[in-house]
Structure 1
Amino acid sequence: MTVPAQVTIHSTAGLDRQQYRIRLSYVVENAASRDALVKFELDGEIDGQPFNDGFDLPGDLAFNFAGSATRLLRRHGLQVCRGPVLRFRKEHDRVFDDLRRQLKAEPGTPVDLQRMGSLAPAEPRCAVAESIVRGRG
């Protein structure tokens, strides 16, 4: 049995308006095959309210975990700032590098753009991204 990897982020007194402790755990299944799947679990507390949720991503799309996690955390009340995400870059990079190692992914590994379209936000951020995701570009 594979032991899930995990990373925890928490609010910093004086910097955050919200109080939160969020743990992201993940496990890679069938890492050596084209059918690799990464199962992500989120749990913790946001403003004193406990939550537990999760999502699965195919191996080739698992590197987009932060976007999927953010959408779920918003549903549980996390207020996410607009703009570049820099505060948790170290944690993001650690998960990204670990996924890349476990999935044996190299730069240039193809991604299924049709499947990626299902991960797109309801309101794309720009027309160029919309055309790429929808295959019109």
Structure 2
Amino acid sequence: MQFFDLSQQFNLSNILVPRKTLDDLKEQHWFLSKVRVEYNCIQEHDILQGQVVLKSNQNIEIELEWQIVDTGHELQVLFKGIEAITVDETLVVVKGAQIIDENNCPISTQLLSLWIDGTLLPLLPHIRQEIKARLNLWDYVEYED
């Protein structure tokens, strides 16, 4: 039998959506679930960007925005708002859980971004190659004859 503290006001989403700490997320197995591409062929600049969905074995999803930068000798995948400076605000979207700190308070986007950069991305060392492998980059590269 489950008991509720009637002295607290409950939000239904807090009951249905699990609350996880960053340490809880670190213990899960993460993999690349989806890659989406946004490419505007009408604009003059050749910036290839999109979103990537990382999913855990406990059905928690983290959506990140990425862009491909041509360094002159390779096409490099950078995550916007984490590794690449963005002009507009970039949101990291988490689905399937509410991320909280040790005081049971929701964490900030900045803290989540630092965790992604310092912990999650190193857990997925081949993420950039996987993103590029799911794209047909030949469609976006121009060669001179």
Regarding TM over 0.5, the answer is: no
Shorter-chain TM range is 0.3 to 0.5
Counting helix residues as a fraction of each chain, which structure ranks higher?
Answer: 1
Q: Which has the higher contact order (CA 8 A, sep 6+)?
A: 2
What's the TM-score, normalizing by structure 1? 0.37
